[in-house]
Amino acid sequence: MITFESVTKRFADGTTAVDNVDLEVPEGDLTVLVGPSGCGKTTTLRMVNRMIEATSGRIVVDGRDVAQVDPPELRRRIGYVIQQTGLFPHRTIGENIATVPQLVGWDRRRTRDRVGELLELVGMPAEVRDRYPHQLSGGQRQRVGVARALAVDPPIMLMDEPFGAVDPIVRSRLQDEFLRLQQEVRKTIVFVTHDIDEAIKMGDRIAIFRQGGHLEQYAPPDELLAEPASDFVADFLGAERGLKRLALIPVSAVKAESGPVVTPDDPGQRAVAAAEAYGSDWVVVVDADRRLLGWVHAGEAAERGRVGDAEVRPFQLQVLAADSLRAALNAMVQSRTGVAVRVSDGDRYEGIVTMELLSKEIS
């Protein structure tokens, strides 16, 4: 756990970079510090490992006031990842990852084994061990940066815009990979970014800073989007706050409606009745095992006499329980039916999600 107690940083020229911040980063959580440039988020991060010294207040890491710990010793127990990765260009990938183990005096074999383990953990092939950083792509370097920070398995990690220097596609993949990794390693992480979408995606909790080092709001992303504490926060979150919230909520959070359902062998009149009862002009078609087949116009089914004789149109997009409501919304707007169909892993029909259900959830 990391606790900031009334921490202030004033630079020699008189500017206040961080203004009386109180913040608690729970064990095993990823806390994102986000805000416009000059808001003190990076300064806040760097006070944790004393790259910058606080002017007043206390920062407590695992029960110890960092001001009482010798900086090199403190830093070896805190993983650090920075934007351009800061890999040592004169050391091979293996040597880079082995940096902290060497500093704390691990023996050769233990270090070597650990390097192999870490390369695997971040999804890098073993051959890269003897390459130099400039021989790797930006995304690969970033993974090595993470591996290096994890080398001695520090309980705490500081990450300063770690995915800032790669293109959006690679960034998104690195974010996903890192979230999976974090599920496994459960580090206490402080993560700095200026990108609110990255903050919402990555953070268990988000601290929004504004210029002058004021902490405006500190809350889980969902709460932040639902109830921004100030106009500044609302502005910073952007106009599509509702959409961003939808991205955070899983489909399983809303109770799917059963909807009008028929099988191909049902008579057309049955489809008309089901559609009328539901208030639509279409019905969902499933087979005897409730596997989703598609949908048909109720009227067309009635004309043909049997549901299976009408044209069964597929739902282009289906959602799983674990997908976000944003994915469900996307499925709705892309379907003529105006609803999203929820299926299980085995393509079994579980119900439909409607716009009303969505707006009930986020308002």
Binding site for other proteins (CB under 8 A): 49, 51, 71-76, 80, 82-92, 99-100, 103-104, 131-132, 134-135, 148, 158
Would you say 92 or 324 has its CB closer to other proteins? Answer: 92
Q: For residues 44, 50, 55 and 57, what is the CA-based torsion angle, rounded to 10 degrees?
A: 70
Q: Quote the least distance from Cβ 139 to other proteins, whole Å.
A: 17
Q: Quote the least distance from Cβ 90 to other proteins, whole Å.
A: 5
Q: Which residues pair with 219 in a beta bridge?
A: 206
Q: Quote the least distance from Cβ 18 to other proteins, whole Å.
A: 18
Would you say 98 or 261 has its CB closer to other proteins? Answer: 98
Comparing CA positions, the residue from 322, 300, 319 lying closest to residue 311 is 300
Q: Quote the least distance from Cβ 247 to other proteins, whole Å.
A: 32
Q: Quote the least distance from Cβ 94 to other proteins, whole Å.
A: 13
Q: Quote the least distance from Cβ 6 to other proteins, whole Å.
A: 25
Rounded to whole angstroms, how far apart are CA atoms 329 and 60?
43
Would you say 122 or 286 has its CB closer to other proteins? Answer: 122
Would you say 84 or 258 has its CB closer to other proteins? Answer: 84
Rounded to whole angstroms, how far apart are CA atoms 279 and 302?
16
Token pair in block for residue 136: 């790797």
List for the chain the helix, strand, coil content (%; round to 5).
Answer: 40, 25, 35
Would you say 161 or 323 has its CB closer to other proteins? Answer: 161
Would you say 93 or 200 has its CB closer to other proteins? Answer: 93
Q: Quote the least distance from Cβ 282 to other proteins, whole Å.
A: 58
Would you say 69 or 247 has its CB closer to other proteins? Answer: 69
**Residue 233 C-beta-side C-alpha neighbours within 13 Å:** 20
Q: Are 79 and 187 in contact (CB under 8 A)?
A: yes
Q: Label residues 211-224 b or e (16+ Cβ within 10 Å = b).
A: eebbbbbbbebeeb
Comparing CA positions, the residue from 76, 202, 82, 201 lying closest to residue 141 is 82
**Residue 11 C-beta-side C-alpha neighbours within 13 Å:** 12
Residue type present at position 86: G
Q: Quote the least distance from Cβ 62 to other proteins, whole Å.
A: 16
Q: What is the H or E stretch that residue 246 is in?
A: helix 241-248
DSSP structure string for 5-74: EEEEEE-TTS-EEEEEEEEEE-TT-EEEEE-STTSSHHHHHHHHTTSS--SEEEEEETTEEGGGS-HHHH
Would you say 157 or 343 has its CB closer to other proteins? Answer: 157
